[in-house]
Every structure is written in structure tokens, then in C-alpha cells.
């Protein structure tokens, strides 16, 4: 009997949830955290999202049919809880930019002058300018390299919808990167 | 080309280190956040029950003291009355000593007649019998003996062992629902670390 099936039964019986929850946390928290950090670009906010996902998990598992892996299911739960965190982190970064607390990436300089990791930081901040759906689709498909079919199943959308979101996200991001980082020679 | 810039940025974002310093903190927050209902209920009920028991004991003791003082006063009054009405001191002594006589008679009546064994079975012997039955693969007999032990000695010194043995016998008999019910407290840590890991492993297999 799989750990998950046992957990589901325990959830039904309102027993043993903590231990099973801890087991699942230990097995999958790193993947959920990686997704959360890529999506939000802020470790503290990402940790809050991880916490929300695992606290909500016992209830969420009642809807789990085992059609996807538990890890995929956890990412889907994270996506459902991500919206408020995205808003919070975007607001905070916008405020920091206004107050010039966050260092602005260099602008108008050739890409060759970007320091190691700076492009990733620029992209992370550029994600703030995308609608949530496009942001999620871009991170899942492009950063985490999932197929559009897998993401479509995860989010309960059609493959075409996901492809469209990624297409529009990339288009906007190119424009933003161009504005902030200049063009490659 | 800008496409390449986006690809480079995406690669960098993918390669950024993941901060997992707070992972343990989140884990610690998760543990108390999801207490089982049964445990929460127990945590609520036990202090109330303890308070009620203590109040009951206190009230009982107070009642006994009150009754004893009343009886004592009453007896003294009766003795005084007798002393007044029945002048000879010969009659006073038996009246004063009456309660002692009653106590002795009562104690005598509770003593079982010789040759008839009415005492409860030795708890340790019950546990030994159950264990022997379990060792001989008489699981039904073992369960019955342990049930008897647990019923007659709910606070006995072999209660954890008896509960574990009973659970193990249930597993052997394939009575999985009952076995799970018996194993869950061990796995949950209600008995501390005693047999916790074994119980978890068994629950995984059931």
C-alpha cells in the first residue's frame, strides 16, 4: 500500500495527519520551494507559500485522484495558493524600486557586461509585469521545463491555452529585457 | 538577439540557488499546526475530567468528614442520654463501642469462606498466560487473555506490552481494521517511543 493511499485514509479518519504530512514534506518540499522561489523571486515569500501548501495539503488531498504524481499535485496546489504571494511580492518590489532600495540592473549596456546571475535577477523582476496566468505558465514551461501538456493537466486548462500564455509571456519579457538590458550584438 | 537574451535569463533563473535555510522552521511550524482531532479532544477533556475527579474526591471526603462528625456528635448525645436515663455505667460502655463491633462484623462478612477462591486473577499471571498463548500461536486465546488483563488492570505495569501484544495478535489473525485501531496510538506516539517505529511500519503494510 502506498504512503499516499495510507495518508488519504488517515486524512479521512482524521488520524495521523501530522506524521504523514511531515513525511511528504520531507520528500517534496525542495521541489515545491524551487518552484515557489522561481515564481516569486523572493526566498521569504517562497517559504510562506511552501508553508501554505503543506498546511492546506490534508484538505487538498481529498481531491487528489492519483492521476498525476504527488509532486505535480503539490505544484498545482502551490499555483492555487500563489496569487496572493505574487501580489505581495510585486507590491513590495515596486515599493522598493520607488524608494531605490533595490539595485536597478544596468540599462543600455551590452549584454556582455551583465554580471553572472544578473540576467536571472532582471528576469525575476520582469515577471512582476506579467499577469499571474502568464507568469505561472512561463515559469512552469520555460524555467522548470515542463511540457505544455503536463502544465495544462496540472492547471486544468487546455494545451493551447498554456501555449498561448507562454507565447504572450515571452513576447512581453523580451520587450522588458530589451528595455532594461539592451540588445545583444 | 533578444530571444537569446531571454533564453540566457531563463537559464540563469533556473540555475539560481534555492534558499532552503527556512525549511526546518517551516517543518516545525507544520507539526503543531495539524494536531489530530482526537488529540485535541483529549487535550481538552483530560483537564476537565481531572478537575471533576478532584472535585468529586474533595466533595466525598468533605461529606465523609461531615457525616463522621455528625455520627460522633449523635453518639455522644446518645451516650449522654443513656448516662442520664440509665444511671448504671454498665450500659454505657456497649453503646459507645457499638460502631467498633459493627466494623468488625462488616469486615468479617467480606472475608470469603475458606476453600472458595473469589480473588481476582493475578495480573502478572494473566499477562504471562496471554504471552504464552501468543508464543504458541494461539492468537485468539492471547487476545482474550490480554483483553481480560487490560479490563481488570487498566493501570497495570504491563499495559503497554499487553496492548502491543494484542495488536500484534490481531495483525496475525488478519483482523486489519481492529489491528489498525490498536496500532494507531503506538504510531502516533501516545506511548512515547515504545514500539512507535514498528507500529508505523505495520500500518504502512496493512
ipTM (interface predicted TM) = 0.74
CA A157 – CA A147 distance, rounded (Å): 13
What is the CATH number for B142?
A: 1.25.40
Give per-residue pLDDT as tens, B60-94: 666 666 666 555 555 555 555 554 444 444 444 44
Instruction: With cut-offs at 50, 70 and 90, classify the pLDDT of residue A167.
Output: very high
| Among B59, B83, B110, residue at a domain's last position | B110
For residue A11, pLDDT beyond 60 = no
Shared-domain flag, residues B83 and B149? no
Shared-domain flag, residues A22 and A76? yes
| Among A102, A128, A146, residue at a domain's last position | A102
What is the CATH number for A48?
A: 1.10.1740.10
Pick the more confident residue, B157 or A57. A57
Count of domains observed in chain B: 2
Shared-domain flag, residues A97 and A12? yes
Q: Judge contact between B3 and A114, C-beta under 8 A.
A: no
CA B72 – CA A183 distance, rounded (Å): 107
Residue numbers of A between 67 and 126 with CB closer than 8 Å to B: 111, 117-124, 126
| 3 state SS of B121 | coil
Interface check B5 vs A, CB under 8 A: yes
Shared-domain flag, residues A24 and A89? yes
Shared-domain flag, residues A98 and A81? yes
Whether residue B198 is contained in a domain is answered as yes
Shared-domain flag, residues A19 and A98? yes
Nearest 5 degrees, angle CA A74-CA A75-CA A81?
90
Pick the more confident residue, B154 or A98. B154
Instruction: With cut-offs at 50, 70 and 90, classify the pLDDT of residue B37.
Output: low
For residue A60, pLDDT beyond 80 = yes
For residue A79, pLDDT beyond 90 = yes
Per-residue confidence (pLDDT) for residue A112, from 0 to 100: 47
* DSSP-derived secondary structure for B45-98: HHHHHHHHHHHHHHHHHHHHHHHHHHHHHHHHHHHHHHHHHS--GGGHHHHHHH
For residue B177, pLDDT beyond 80 = yes
Whether residue B25 is contained in a domain is answered as no
Whether residue B55 is contained in a domain is answered as yes
Whether residue B38 is contained in a domain is answered as no
Shared-domain flag, residues B104 and B130? no
Per-residue confidence (pLDDT) for residue A105, from 0 to 100: 52
Q: Which residues contact A138 (CB under 8 A, 6 or more apart)?
A: A127, A130, A165, A166, A169, A170, A173
Whether residue B106 is contained in a domain is answered as yes
Specify the range with the lowest mean pLDDT, choosing from A43-57, A60-74, A151-165, B100-114.
B100-114
Shared-domain flag, residues B133 and B77? no
Q: Judge contact between A40 and A85, C-beta under 8 A.
A: yes
For residue A113, pLDDT beyond 60 = no
A17: which chain B residues are within 8 Å (Cβ-Cβ)? 34, 36
Instruction: With cut-offs at 50, 70 and 90, classify the pLDDT of residue A157.
Output: very high
Interface check A12 vs B, CB under 8 A: no
Specify the range with the lowest mean pLDDT, choosing from A98-102, A138-142, A179-183, B55-59.
A98-102
* Residues of the domain holding B92: 44-110
Residue numbers of A between 161 and 180 with CB closer than 8 Å to B: 170, 173-174, 177-178
For residue A170, pLDDT beyond 90 = yes
Per-residue confidence (pLDDT) for residue A185, from 0 to 100: 37
Shared-domain flag, residues B106 and B127? no
Q: Judge contact between A56 and A77, C-beta under 8 A.
A: yes
For residue B40, pLDDT beyond 60 = no
Per-residue confidence (pLDDT) for residue A151, from 0 to 100: 93
Per-residue confidence (pLDDT) for residue B77, from 0 to 100: 55
What's the half-sphere exposure (Cβ side, CA atoms, 13 Å) at A90? 15
For residue A82, pLDDT beyond 80 = yes
* Residues of the domain holding A13: 1-102
Chain B interface disruption, residue of A119, A126, A127, most B CBs within 10 A: A119
Specify the range with the lowest mean pLDDT, choosing from A161-165, B40-44, B81-85, B196-200.
B81-85
Amino acid at each position: 500500500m502506498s504512503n499516499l493511499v495510507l495518508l488519504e485514509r488517515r486524512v479521512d479518519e482524521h488520524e495521523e495527519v501530522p506524521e504523514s504530512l511531515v513525511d511528504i514534506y520531507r520528500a517534496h518540499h525542495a521541489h515545491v520551494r524551487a518552484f515557489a522561489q522561481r515564481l516569486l523571486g523572493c526566498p521569504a515569500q517562497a517559504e510562506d507559500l511552501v508553508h501554505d501548501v503543506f498546511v492546506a495539503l490534508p484538505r487538498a488531498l481529498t481531491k487528489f485522484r492519483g492521476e498525476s504524481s504527488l509532486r505535480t499535485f503539490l505544484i498545482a496546489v502551490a499555483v492555487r495558493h500563489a496569487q496572493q504571494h505574487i501580489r505581495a511580492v510585486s507590491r513590495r518590489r515596486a515599493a522598493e524600486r520607488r524608494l531605490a532600495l533595490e539595485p536597478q540592473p544596468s540599462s543600455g549596456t551590452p549584454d556582455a557586461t551583465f554580471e553572472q546571475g544578473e540576467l536571472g535577477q532582471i528576469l525575476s523582476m520582469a515577471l512582476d509585469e506579467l499577469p499571474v496566468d502568464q507568469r505561472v505558465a512561463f515559469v512552469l514551461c520555460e524555467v522548470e521545463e515542463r511540457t505544455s501538456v503536463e502544465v495544462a493537466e496540472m492547471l486544468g486548462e487546455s494545451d493551447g491555452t498554456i501555449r498561448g500564455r507562454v507565447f504572450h509571456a515571452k513576447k512581453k519579457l523580451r520587450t522588458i529585457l530589451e528595455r532594461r538590458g539592451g540588445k545583444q550584438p | 538577439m533578444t530571444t537569446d537574451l531571454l533564453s540566457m535569463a531563463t537559464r540563469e533563473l533556473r540555475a539560481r540557488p534555492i534558499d532552503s535555510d527556512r525549511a526546518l522552521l517551516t517543518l516545525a511550524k507544520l507539526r503543531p499546526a495539524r494536531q489530530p482531532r482526537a488529540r485535541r479532544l483529549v487535550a481538552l477533556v483530560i483537564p476537565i475530567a481531572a478537575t471533576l475527579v478532584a472535585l468529586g474526591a474533595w466533595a466525598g471526603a468533605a461529606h465523609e468528614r461531615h457525616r463522621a462528625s455528625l455520627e460522633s456528635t449523635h453518639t455522644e448525645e446518645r451516650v449522654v442520654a443513656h448516662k442520664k436515663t440509665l444511671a448504671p455505667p454498665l450500659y454505657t460502655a456497649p453503646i459507645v463501642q457499638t460502631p467498633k463491633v459493627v466494623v468488625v462484623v462488616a469486615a468479617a462478612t467480606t472475608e470469603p469462606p475458606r476453600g472458595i477462591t473469589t480473588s481476582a486473577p493475578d495480573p502478572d499471571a494473566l499477562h504471562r498466560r496471554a504471552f504464552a498463548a501468543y508464543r504458541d500461536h494461539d492468537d485468539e486465546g492471547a487476545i482474550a487473555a490480554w483483553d481480560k488483563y487490560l479490563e481488570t488492570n487498566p493501570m497495570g505495569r504491563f499495559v503497554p506490552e499487553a496492548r502491543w501484544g494484542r495488536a500484534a495478535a490481531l495483525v496475525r489473525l488478519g483482523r486489519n481494521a481492529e489491528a489498525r485501531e490498536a496500532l494507531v496510538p503506538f504510531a502516533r506516539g501516545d506511548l512515547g517511543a515504545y514500539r512507535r517505529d514498528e507500529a508505523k511500519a505495520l500500518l504502512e503494510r496493512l
